[in-house]
Amino acid sequence: MTYGKPLFEGRPDTGENEETDYGALPDEASYQVHPSSARRQLTERDIDQNQKAKRLFDRVMPGLPIDTDPPETRREAEPFSQIIEKTLKRLKIDASPWLDELSEAWSKLVPPEVAKVTRPGKWDNGILYVYVTSSVKLFEIRRTRLRAIEQAVRTFAGDNRVRQVRLMVNSVPLPFT
């Protein structure tokens, strides 16, 4: 006496889409990027991927297996800094990896006496805040060196990235190197 379904009759009910067949051969649609609810429009990179998949399947010989990672559909490597910049821009965060690069190059951009008492702080809405060790040094730098610092930063970062450089007294002492 058996209870339930007879053994080996039809497909088991997995709760997934009935069209999912893992034994099926891949086709052009398997390698293409399609719009979804998360990504409504395809980027240039997605369109390029779809063209590469089309070229791959134009050259496929019937009966031969298809590589699971064919060179034709591989994406070009993208620098990690660009990925971070795009992600921050998409999330509307005004932080940028170039600020770390600016911090590393700070001692080469400004005169040594200025580099000892200043460091790049934060970057917000096109304004670079430079931290200074004391209010006396801040006054002195603002009076004599601010224009040179602005010019050096714009040369380093590009004219469109930094609109203005502002000086602020830093409450945390700077490490002396």
- Tell which CATH architecture fits domain 98-169: 2-Layer Sandwich (3.30)
Overall average pLDDT of the 19-39 stretch: 73
Q: Where along the chain do the CATH 3.30.300.180 domains lie?
A: 98-169
Where are the alpha helices (H) located in the chain, listed in sequence order? 28-31, 44-58, 80-90, 98-109, 112-115, 135-144, 146-157
Look up the pTM and report it: 0.46
Task: Give the C-alpha separation, 124 to 29, whole Å.
Answer: 43
pLDDT tens-place string over residues 66-113: 777 777 777 778 888 778 878 877 887 765 677 888 888 999 999 999
